[in-house]
């Protein structure tokens, strides 16, 4: 296809206030890009054995072939490498034209949360963190990182948090919602203790395989179902963390659900509240109704933005969640990314737009 293009113009004008993008995916340039951050032993391991993920059909991917690497077709850098791997191109295509003041990197490459070989997973987590610092944070001061940890090994995770947190540019601890066990379980609490101690929110992004099928009923047939199924980890995370008493134990803990949607939250929490009224004897450690914990401890990124047929219904959803709870995200360079100028199909006042596109993230991440 021959393509001759003029630079992007006009489209970002509504977001001129400057946005904070809470979900941007960096990718290594090639399969060996993390080697400088991996011990020789693990480089060899990568070559000879590769990853060992908690998923069936080991060499397949849940990603659609129609959007290779689940990326925008226009996001492949002209200089080569996969989308999200070339900082200069990311600046030119995304950070500059969208007026991104800060962008939070969420590296999904390597699927660290799903790696079964825990020694390898620990090495990969450290490599991801060092790679983010050296190749991203140090090269563009707008970028911030998510701290990659091995959630199945909380002792190692805490060590990694201690090692990285003092850098100051890691703004959240990254966990996968499709975890080995529901995330409220006490085995994960050391991570939450460290998160609270360092004032770092948990950024729970819809990735990781965790050994479970994406739906409660097994593996779906169509990518369309698989894409939606990423949301299904959300209620599991939310109910588990609330019911197990995580927020009683860690009252300052903050949780950001990234790319898990948000419109499901109100109806889900109504149901939890009703159940709690009837059966609270089962969870006597809870002081408040589930909705109280949810409103106090959870935040949501906006992409993929819900697009109801009647756009104004979104407003009622925002009203319930709290306008201070929504964090704008694009998901660049993935195919389903949102453009801040067009993502909201309902009318927003300039103040509302600014709050969601920027203000809420400034408060939460203390930018």
Judged by beta carbon, residue 66 or residue 349, the one nearer other proteins is: 66
Query: What's the closest the beta carbon of residue 337 comes to other proteins, in angstroms?
Result: 6
Query: What's the closest the beta carbon of residue 260 comes to other proteins, in angstroms?
Result: 18
* CB neighbour class for 104 (10 Å; exposed up to 12, middle 13-18, buried from 19): buried
Query: What's the closest the beta carbon of residue 336 comes to other proteins, in angstroms?
Result: 6
Judged by beta carbon, residue 60 or residue 66, the one nearer other proteins is: 66
* Element spanning 122, H or E: helix 118-135
Cα–Cα dist 105/91, whole Å:
13
Cα–Cα dist 250/360, whole Å:
22
Judged by beta carbon, residue 334 or residue 358, the one nearer other proteins is: 334
* Cβ atoms of residues 76 and 334 within 8 Å: no
Lookup: tokens for 37: 């951050």
DSSP at 335 = T
DSSP at 151 = T
- List of residues 6+ apart from 165 with CB closer than 8 A: 147, 194, 198, 200
Judged by beta carbon, residue 197 or residue 346, the one nearer other proteins is: 346
End-to-end distance of the chain based on CA atoms, in angstroms?
Answer: 42
Query: What's the closest the beta carbon of residue 8 comes to other proteins, in angstroms?
Result: 8
Query: What's the closest the beta carbon of residue 150 comes to other proteins, in angstroms?
Result: 33
Cα–Cα dist 113/225, whole Å:
22
Give the CA diameter of the chain.
67
Query: What's the closest the beta carbon of residue 141 comes to other proteins, in angstroms?
Result: 28
Judged by beta carbon, residue 298 or residue 318, the one nearer other proteins is: 318
* Cβ atoms of residues 34 and 111 within 8 Å: no
DSSP at 111 = -
Cα–Cα dist 155/145, whole Å:
21
Judged by beta carbon, residue 171 or residue 343, the one nearer other proteins is: 343
* Cβ atoms of residues 240 and 183 within 8 Å: yes
56 sits in the region (left: phi over 0; alpha: psi -120 to 50; else beta) called beta
Query: What's the closest the beta carbon of residue 147 comes to other proteins, in angstroms?
Result: 29
Query: What's the closest the beta carbon of residue 227 comes to other proteins, in angstroms?
Result: 11
Cα–Cα dist 62/283, whole Å:
37
DSSP at 123 = H
Lookup: tokens for 242: 């609330």
Query: What's the closest the beta carbon of residue 343 comes to other proteins, in angstroms?
Result: 7
Binding-site ranges for other proteins (CB under 8 A): 1-6, 8, 11, 66-67, 72-74, 307, 311, 335-339, 341-343, 345, 347
């Amino acid at each position: 296809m021959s393509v001759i293009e003029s630079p992007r113009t006009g489209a970002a004008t509504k977001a001129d206030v400057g946005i904070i993008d809470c979900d941007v995916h960096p990718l290594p340039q090639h399969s060996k890009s993390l080697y400088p951050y991996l011990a020789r032993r693990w480089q060899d391991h990568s070559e000879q054995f590769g990853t060992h993920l908690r998923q069936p059909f080991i060499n397949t991917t849940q990603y659609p072939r129609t959007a290779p690497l689940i990326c925008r077709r226009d996001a492949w850098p002209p200089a080569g490498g996969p989308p999200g791997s070339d900082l200069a191109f990311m600046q030119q295509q995304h950070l500059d034209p969208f007026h991104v003041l800060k962008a939070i990197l969420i590296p999904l490459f390597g699927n660290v949360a799903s790696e079964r070989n825990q020694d390898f997973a620990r090495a990969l987590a450290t490599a991801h963190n060092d790679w983010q610092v050296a190749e991203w944070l140090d090269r563009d001061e707008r970028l911030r990182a998510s701290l990659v940890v091995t959630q199945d090994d909380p002792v190692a995770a805490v060590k990694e948090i201690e090692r990285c947190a003092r850098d100051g540019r890691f703004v959240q601890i990254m966990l996968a919602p499709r975890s080995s066990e529901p995330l409220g379980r006490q085995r994960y609490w050391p991570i939450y203790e460290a998160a609270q101690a360092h004032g770092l929110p948990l950024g729970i992004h819809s990735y990781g395989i965790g050994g479970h099928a994406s739906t409660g009923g097994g593996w779906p047939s169509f990518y369309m179902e698989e894409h939606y199924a990423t949301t299904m980890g959300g209620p599991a995370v939310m109910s588990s963390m609330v019911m197990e008493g995580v927020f009683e134990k860690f009252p300052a803990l903050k949780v950001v659900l990234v790319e898990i949607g948000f419109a499901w939250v109100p109806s889900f929490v109504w149901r939890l509240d009703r159940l709690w009224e009837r059966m609270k004897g089962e969870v006597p450690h809870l002081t408040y109704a589930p909705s109280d914990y949810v409103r106090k401890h959870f935040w949501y990124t906006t992409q993929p933005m819900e697009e109801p047929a009647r756009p104004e219904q979104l407003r009622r959803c925002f009203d319930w969640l709290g306008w201070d709870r929504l964090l704008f995200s694009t998901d660049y360079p993935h195919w389903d990314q949102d453009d801040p100028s067009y993502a909201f199909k309902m009318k927003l006042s300039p103040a509302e737009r600014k709050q969601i596109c920027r203000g809420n993230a400034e408060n939460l991440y203390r930018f």
